[in-house]
Amino acid sequence: MRILPTIGLLLLAVPLSAADVPTGEAMYKKQCASCHGANGEGAKAYPQPLIGGKSVAQLSALIAKTMPEDDPGSLKKDEADRISAYAHEAFYSQAARDRNKPPRVELARLTVAQYRNAVSDLIGGFRFAQKADPKPGLKGEYFNARNFNIKMRVEERVDPQVKFDFGTNGPIGDKTEPGQFSIRWEGSVTAPETGDYEFVVRTEHASRLWVNDNVKPLIDAWVKSGADTEFKGSTFLIAGRTYPIRLEFSKAKQGVDDSKKQKGPPPAVKASMQLAWKLPHRPTETIPTRFLTSVKTPESFVPNTPFPPDDRSLGWERGTTVSKAWDQATTDAALETAGYVVAKLNELAGTKDGAPDRDAKIRDFAKRFVEKAFRRPLNDAQKQLFVDRQFDATKDPDQAMKRVVLLALKSPRFLYRETNSDTDQFDIACHLSFALWDSPPDAELTKAAIEGKLGTRDQLMKQAERMMNDPRAKAKIHEFFMTWLKVDQAPDIAKDSKRYPGFDPAIAADLRTSLELFIDDVFWSPTSDFRQMFLADQVYLNERLAKFYGVTAPAGGFQKAKLDSDKRAGVLTHPYLLATFAYTGTTSPIHRGVFIARGVLGLAMRPPPDAFTPLAENLHPQLTTRERVALQTKPAACISCHGVINPLGFTLESFDAVGRYRDKDNGKAVDSTGSYLTREGNTVAFGGSKELAKFLADSEEVQAAFAEQMFHHLVKQPLRAYGPTTQADLRKAFAAGNFNMRKLAAEIAVRAALPPVAKK
């Protein structure tokens, strides 16, 4: 009577055949589709699409830990593997999304930065830069008189900065009289970022300052009244460009100190002079030497018309949307540009009022202007429409030129840069120049296009390597790194003054400068080794930072120095980033972990479903920051993201909210251990930030993510629109070039510019 049950037990012990094992698709549709949609498109319970950047192994680990919803962790490993493999291949992965909806190169208008650069270079192309070897600083001419009489000039030299306190003496000992002397400083100033610049002149005596305008002073305090000693003027400048600057100073026998009438000889009057500026989102500082050159460059046109911001929803600026506001801005900017061109017409066209050939020269200038705007020679029909018809309609060449400018700058041939042409040499030149400069081709690149010398990889690479040395490329690379490190918006990093006395806006500004100098040092070094972004153990410090962080002050301004012996690891532990990704009074492992996960590893992570407020310290006074974060993110709804974020952020807990090293938090030993589940499904453990930095420097995930983000920033198009293997190919090229970042940037520009038949 017990035979049948025994047979049943034996049958249960026999492994199921392959045909009896439910497929991943079947399991997904039975257990997951009701919440996530049949194709991962989302449903009422979870409206967000089921997409992401995790590998099959990472996704399987997440499913095993969090699913099913009513009994998390009850799935067997092989069941989670099958569901993960199906979802990843069907709709979750980027490859699946690309297969279901192939990405494409999108028609793109000029971004705001590209518009400003294009217009500035369009006009600048008709001006000639001086050929000279500039020295850092400004050329100073010292006169033993108030009126810059050349016969009274006693010395000419290059001053690294303009910050002098002459006291009651002359500036050059017995060469100049203490009573009356004058100084003229000339040269150029480079703008490190785009925005409004406030220039500041501080002196007790007469002064004038010209910036990017050789006629009208930005600051005019030549005729002084009252006791003012500080004078300001603002102007808008574009990053990476150099502008002419001239400062004049004149000391009389009397000044603002001479406020009381006294009998006998007049008292000695002190004299000082400082040239400072206030960059966007920074405190006022003396203009540093690295932004000054002794050679005066030509004036540049800088359009001041405000534009609506570009779309940055995908992480980089895109010109894929056109609004009424943008269209109106392009009209206003075209009018502004036309007014400038007409005002400077004789200079730009190389003619003079009343010259017999003035009309002919202006018409020729108009043709060349439109060709530069359209980035290619005009055919006969285009010349007739955009140039001849405008001059034939009026006898006033200035009015005709204005119409030409308006017509050219409102044309799609100027406003749009993607023409879907795979073979046109002029399009190839534009792809290359906009990738590296955010601006049209220069004369050399245009000449190569005319001669048909942009058809091969070698030809383009030679041009790209040349173009990488241009200040415009350096500006764009700088903007990329600020974006990559999530500090492009110049975040407010104010701190609790009671916990961190001495941390003020000046320290914050110095820290940002320190980070920028570090990035420039690594990127523009001979090897340009990406791994050193994580492995370098020195930071740039000046006297103020050295004092705050408790190390010996370096001599001569910002210099490389070791901080906290062997505790630092490149950008990961740079005090500016550590302070940025922290609260005013405490660290934030979550912010730091998100930065590493999204920015460095390139993981796709959704924002939290609900507004996030950290647990207050006074609610759990006995806990460390790490313990409070672990407690708050313990619920199952948090684990899918915080299971990745927290272990990464915890590795930086040895650094406080201002980036100083610590070994205690709330009286307990700091626990800076962490971990990461790789795309291969291996869990890597870290003993702290240095071990994490070493892993990131050598990680193929990080290298691929870095290449992809650089591609998006330079090309401003989806990387996968250039082929399913492009990311892998870029990473391989990156590795083959010893992770040289300059070579990677050139490789990206060339790969995006080449026709498909020439990409190999």
Residue 490: pLDDT band (50, 70, 90) is confident
Q: Are residues 585 and 659 in the same domain?
A: yes
Integer CA distances (angstroms), 97 to 39, 94, 214, 534, in order: 11, 5, 56, 32
Predicted local distance difference test score (pLDDT) of residue 566: 86
Q: Which helix (H) or strand (E) holds 434?
A: helix 425-437
Tokens at residue 491, please?
């975040």
Q: Are residues 559 and 694 in the same domain?
A: yes
Integer CA distances (angstroms), 29 to 36, 47, 75, 80, 84, in order: 10, 17, 15, 14, 12
Spatial distance between the Cα atoms of 103 and 197, rounded to a whole number of angstroms = 40
Mean pLDDT of 295-319: 92
Q: Percent of the chain beyond pLDDT 70? A: 92
The more confident residue out of 78 and 15 is 78
Q: Are residues 399 and 518 in the same domain?
A: no
Residue 50 is assigned to a structural domain of this protein: yes
Long-range contacts of 367-374 (CB under 8 A, 24+ apart): 368/126, 369/122, 369/126, 369/341, 369/404, 369/405, 369/408, 370/404, 370/408, 372/122, 372/125, 372/440, 373/122, 373/408, 373/409, 373/411, 373/413, 373/414, 374/408, 374/411, 374/413, 374/414
Spatial distance between the Cα atoms of 277 and 285, rounded to a whole number of angstroms = 6
List the beta strands (DSSP E) in 596-637. Answer: none
Give the length of the chain.
Answer: 760
Q: What is the DSSP letter of 174?
A: G
Number of neighbours of residue 40 by Cβ within 10 angstroms: 22
Spatial distance between the Cα atoms of 204 and 184, rounded to a whole number of angstroms = 16
- β-pair type (664-665, 242-251): unpaired
Q: Are residues 585 and 678 in the same domain?
A: yes
**Do the Cβ atoms of 415 and 421 come closer than 8 Å?**
no
Query: Which of 583, 677, 684 is closest to 62 using CA atoms?
Result: 677
Q: Which pTM does this prediction carry?
A: 0.88
Predicted local distance difference test score (pLDDT) of residue 760: 45
Q: Are residues 492 and 571 in the same domain?
A: yes
Residue 220 CA, distance from chain mean position: 34
Tell whether the model's pLDDT for residue 757 goes beyond 90: no
Query: Which of 384, 580, 373 is closest to 482 using CA atoms?
Result: 580
Q: Which helix (H) or strand (E) holds 636?
A: helix 636-649
Spatial distance between the Cα atoms of 463 and 227, rounded to a whole number of angstroms = 56
Predicted local distance difference test score (pLDDT) of residue 329: 97
Predicted local distance difference test score (pLDDT) of residue 333: 98
Residue 494 is assigned to a structural domain of this protein: yes
- β-pair type (242-251, 181-190): antiparallel
DSSP string, 363-396: HHHHHHHHHHHHTS---HHHHIIIIIHHHHT-S-
List the beta strands (DSSP E) in 559-645. Answer: 559-562
Dihedral (CA of 191, 197, 201, 207) sign: positive
Residue type, 564: D
**Do the Cβ atoms of 54 and 603 come closer than 8 Å?**
yes
Residue 255: pLDDT band (50, 70, 90) is low
Predicted local distance difference test score (pLDDT) of residue 226: 74
Q: Are residues 622 and 714 in the same domain?
A: no
Residue 676 DSSP SS3: strand
Query: Which of 201, 190, 217 is closest to 294 using CA atoms?
Result: 190
Residue 17 is assigned to a structural domain of this protein: no
In the chain, how many H helices and how many E strands? 29, 18
**Do the Cβ atoms of 605 and 597 come closer than 8 Å?**
yes
Spatial distance between the Cα atoms of 364 and 349, rounded to a whole number of angstroms = 8
179-188, 202-211, 408-417, 548-557: the lowest-pLDDT one: 548-557
The more confident residue out of 264 and 414 is 414
- Cβ density class 695-734: b for 16+ within 10 Å, e for less: bbbebebbbbbbbbbbbbbbbbbbbbebeeebbebbbebb
Q: Are residues 513 and 606 in the same domain?
A: yes
Residue 718 is assigned to a structural domain of this protein: yes
Q: Are residues 534 and 678 in the same domain?
A: yes
**Do the Cβ atoms of 479 and 239 come closer than 8 Å?**
yes
Which residues have CB under 8 Å from 254's CB, separation 6+? 266, 269
The more confident residue out of 22 and 571 is 571
Q: What is the CATH number of the domain that holds 188?
A: 2.60.120.1560
Residue 497 is assigned to a structural domain of this protein: yes
Q: Which residue has the tokens 């390597």?
A: 465
The more confident residue out of 47 and 504 is 504
Residue type, 333: A
Residue 448 is assigned to a structural domain of this protein: no
Query: Per residue in 171-205, pLDDT tens?
Result: 876 666 667 889 999 999 999 999 999 999 999 99
Integer CA distances (angstroms), 474 to 242, 269, 315, 458, 651, in order: 13, 45, 20, 22, 32
Q: Are residues 730 and 623 in the same domain?
A: no
Query: Which of 671, 665, 612, 620 is closest to 641 using CA atoms?
Result: 612
Q: Are residues 311 and 404 in the same domain?
A: yes
- By residue range, what is the domain housing residue 236? 138-258+266-293
Q: Are residues 518 and 586 in the same domain?
A: yes
Question: How many structural domains compose the chain?
Answer: 5
Predicted local distance difference test score (pLDDT) of residue 186: 97
Number of neighbours of residue 224 by Cβ within 10 angstroms: 18
Spatial distance between the Cα atoms of 660 and 652, rounded to a whole number of angstroms = 11
**Do the Cβ atoms of 297 and 212 come closer than 8 Å?**
no
Predicted local distance difference test score (pLDDT) of residue 8: 36
Residue type, 441: P
Residue 446 is assigned to a structural domain of this protein: no
Q: Are residues 574 and 628 in the same domain?
A: yes
Spatial distance between the Cα atoms of 533 and 525, rounded to a whole number of angstroms = 12
Which residues have CB under 8 Å from 376's CB, separation 6+? 426, 449
Predicted local distance difference test score (pLDDT) of residue 419: 54
Residue 529 is assigned to a structural domain of this protein: yes
Predicted local distance difference test score (pLDDT) of residue 59: 87
123-132, 427-436, 593-602, 749-758: the lowest-pLDDT one: 749-758
Tell whether the model's pLDDT for residue 640 goes beyond 90: no
